[in-house]
């Protein structure tokens, strides 16, 4: 069964006489393309043996803003685990999108693949239009800053004060579901984000603000020679939805409301991550054990106790 396209996505937008039509980014998502790659995703995830909890907190249909913590740099197994959980819960017929870093869509050959998978650049009004069409939108507000945080901060939620996702939720009035991932940032040892180094080599001109430094058994290295991640076991926890619709769309323009919502969700996510860190203190050892015994992606019916 084909996807139901967002409103207005079935007709190309004209850019003027004599020019090529522009296809709505939301219409580029290809559920058949996604379905053919689920097997490859599951094989990749098998190395990290993820466990998904509390999936019943994610609505089966309707618009949802899904907010996660970003880890393990560009290996990001937690992102793949969340995406698989979404497909398990909502299927592929209901459109789901993920906001991605703008620069990735300009990489030759990569942009079209990301778009077919349902990724859209984290700019413009595409996310708002997707929510208005009843889709799920996944966002990682911490971006590269959080994904490249030092190993000493592996169990910390760090959105860097970015509040755009809160304003998006307030404008649209959709339920906001936090999803917390634990374990994946244990798979690599990041000594430093390398923010000064990124500025020194001019990466900030590409809106890349980090150039992580890794510590490995054979010494120090960088993203130019990234280490192989350890098979750390990932636990993905979906939390109960937040309903901020009582503030109305005008709440997006009220800094006090935005700050209160931001504090509410980050506090809840940090509390959940703290509990997971206490319950599962050794993700790498646990991951090795699960890998040896052949455990892959697992869905648990019982959510983490509050």
Q: Provide the token pair at 36.
A: 């053919």
The pLDDT, as a whole number, for residue 203 is 85
Strand 219-222 and strand 213-216: the pairing is antiparallel
Q: Provide the token pair at 45.
A: 């995830």
- In degrees and rounded to multiples of 5, residue 105 shows phi and psi of -75, -10
The pLDDT, as a whole number, for residue 107 is 83
- Considering the chain, what percentage of its residues have pLDDT values greater than 70? 91
**Count of beta carbons in the 10 Å neighbourhood of residue 77:** 25
The pLDDT, as a whole number, for residue 133 is 96
Can you tell me the distance from the alpha carbon of 32 to that of 53, in angstroms, rounded to the nearest whole number? Answer: 27
Q: Provide the token pair at 69.
A: 């913590």
Q: What is the DSSP letter of 242?
A: B
Class level of CATH domain 25-187+230-299: alpha beta
Looking at the predicted structure, is the pLDDT value of residue 139 above 50? yes
The pLDDT, as a whole number, for residue 306 is 44
Looking at the predicted structure, is the pLDDT value of residue 8 above 60? no
- In degrees and rounded to multiples of 5, residue 219 shows phi and psi of 125, -160
Higher pLDDT, 3 or 134: 134
The pLDDT, as a whole number, for residue 11 is 36
For 227-262, what is each residue's pLDDT tens digit? 999 999 999 999 999 999 999 999 999 999 999 999
Q: Provide the token pair at 96.
A: 């789901």
Domains of the chain, by residue range, sit at 25-187+230-299, 189-228
Cα R_g (the chain), whole angstroms: 19
Entry pTM: 0.89
**Reduced to 3 states, what is the DSSP secondary structure of residue 218?**
coil
Can you tell me the distance from the alpha carbon of 165 to that of 302, in angstroms, rounded to the nearest whole number? Answer: 28
pLDDT, the chain, mean: 90
The pLDDT, as a whole number, for residue 228 is 94
The pLDDT, as a whole number, for residue 105 is 84
For 19-40, what is each residue's pLDDT tens digit? 445 578 899 999 999 999 999 9
Mean pLDDT, range 93-116, rounded to an integer: 89
Higher pLDDT, 12 or 229: 229
């Amino acid at each position: 069964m084909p996807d139901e396209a967002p409103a207005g996505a079935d007709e190309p937008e004209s850019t003027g006489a004599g020019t090529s039509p522009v296809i709505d980014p939301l219409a580029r998502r290809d559920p058949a393309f996604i379905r053919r790659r689920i097997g490859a995703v599951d094989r990749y995830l098998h190395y990290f043996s993820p466990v998904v909890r509390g999936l019943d907190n994610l609505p089966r249909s309707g618009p949802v803003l899904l907010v996660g913590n970003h880890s393990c740099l560009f290996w990001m197994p937690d992102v793949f685990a969340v995406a698989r959980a979404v497909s398990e819960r909502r299927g592929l017929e209901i459109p789901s999108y993920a906001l991605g870093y703008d620069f990735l869509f300009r990489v030759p050959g990569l942009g079209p693949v990301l778009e077919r998978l349902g990724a859209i650049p984290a700019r413009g009004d595409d996310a708002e239009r997707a929510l208005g069409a009843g889709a799920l939108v996944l966002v990682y507000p911490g971006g590269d800053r959080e994904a490249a945080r030092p190993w000493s901060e592996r169990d910390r939620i760090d959105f860097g004060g970015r509040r755009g996702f809160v304003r998006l939720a307030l404008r649209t009035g959709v339920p906001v579901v936090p999803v917390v991932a634990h374990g994946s940032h244990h798979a690599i040892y990041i000594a430093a984000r390398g923010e000064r180094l990124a500025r020194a080599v001019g990466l900030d001109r590409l809106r890349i603000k980090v150039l992580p430094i890794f510590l490995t058994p054979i010494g120090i290295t960088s993203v130019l020679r990234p280490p192989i991640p350890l098979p750390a076991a990932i636990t993905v926890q979906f939390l109960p939805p937040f309903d901020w619709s009582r503030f109305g769309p005008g709440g997006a323009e009220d800094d006090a409301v935005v700050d209160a919502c931001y504090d509410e969700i980050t506090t809840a996510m940090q509390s959940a991550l703290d509990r997971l860190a206490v319950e599962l203190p050794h993700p790498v050892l646990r991951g090795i054990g699960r890998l040896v015994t052949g455990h892959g992606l697992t869905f648990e019916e019982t959510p983490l106790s509050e």
